[in-house]
Amino acid sequence: MIIELPDTTVSKISRALVNVREEGGAVALGRVLTLIIATRHGAEEEVIEAANAASREHPMRVIVLMIGDETGEPRVDAQIRIGGDAGASEVIVLRAHGAAGSNTESLVTGLLLPDAPVVAWWPGETPDMPSKTPLGRIAQRRITDASEQADPAAWVTSLAGHYAPGDTDFAWTRITRWREQLAAVLDQPPYEPVLGAEVLGAADSPSTSLLAAWLRLKLDVPVTYRYLPTDEWSHGIKSVRLDRPAGPTLLERPESGVAVLTQPGQPSHDLAFPRRTLRECLAEELRRLDADVLYGRVIAEGLELLGAPTTQETDG
């Protein structure tokens, strides 16, 4: 069900939510958090779909906030989605125009679930310091996505400069499977030490440097990383090589969605390694509402230890 509320106010939206619940169209009990999505006109449906899918694991209230032309007439148009149009959540879409969009905190405060954590997500263009924004100040967790920035690599290098406990980025979330698989390899015989490592990724992959920084921090060995030309590898991480006394361990994607694990003296293993969807990334980040200490260390310490990427020429 979709309820349209043109030229409305926050109090009218709240009353409409109460009426919907009293009429039995939706149940607010069991909502575990409020997710605020700051996005732009035209991009809202993709992120709402991701939030609806994630809500089946994390029942929540979703507030989608879009700020229109600041010079227009002050006006707030709202839409309430429940039932089949909202997954296991209730979705409130706010379109603020003119001066009505100047105070984003006041727009959402009256719609937050009482005594429930707040998560803020910027799926596209992101403020330089999310924790200092009106939405960031009321959120326990703040989610950004380096891959959607104009310069993903530069955004990653700036993460430490504006980090606050509770921040995270989907560039980090997307390497969970890589970290799990590499950790599993090192937990198995022959238990040889890692002497060094190399990570290769696409030119637009912000996850490449984060994975290399994680390896540098956790293994305390030299780690290099390199961005590949688009015609050689188009998207995401291409491979990770761990140098060990008996020979290299290689986890490599020959094509998107598949990875091959090669180790000395063992048969190769094919693994499913598809690029993680928005829904998967969002659902993972909503599983924890405390600060991700490891992520903070990787961007603050690991990236500094790692240094700049190597080039094709210096690799010889």
Are residues 130 and 211 part of one domain? no
251 closest CA partner among 171, 194, 185, 167: 185
In-domain check, residue 106: yes
| CATH at 224 | 3.30.360
pLDDT confidence of residue 140: 96
User: Is there a single domain that holds both residue 175 and residue 299?
Assistant: yes
Whether 161 is in a domain gets the answer no
Map tokens 């125009």 to a residue: 97
Question: How high is the pLDDT of residue 209?
Answer: 96
Whether residues 22 and 129 fall in one domain: yes
Q: Does one domain contain both 20 and 136?
A: yes
Q: Are residues 205 and 289 in the same domain?
A: yes
- Report the distance separating Cα 206 and Cα 282, nearest Å: 17
DSSP letters, 200-231, are EEETT-THHHHHHHHHHHHH-S-EEEEEEPTT
Over the chain (316 residues), what is each successive 10-residue block's mean pLDDT?
A: 93 91 60 93 93 92 89 90 77 92 90 94 93 96 95 91 96 96 92 96 94 97 96 94 96 94 94 92 95 96 92 51
Q: Kindly state whether residues 181 and 308 are assigned to the same domain.
A: yes
Report the domain count for the chain: 2
Identify the domain boundary among 129, 144, 159. Answer: 144
My answer on whether 124 and 177 are in the same domain is no
- Its domain, for residue 264, covers 171-316
pLDDT computed for residue 314 by the predictor: 42
- Element of type H or E holding 140: none
Q: Please, are residues 136 and 142 in contact by the beta-carbon 8 Å criterion?
A: yes
Between CA 201 and CA 270 the distance in angstroms is 19
- Which pLDDT score, from 0 to 100, does residue 199 have? 98
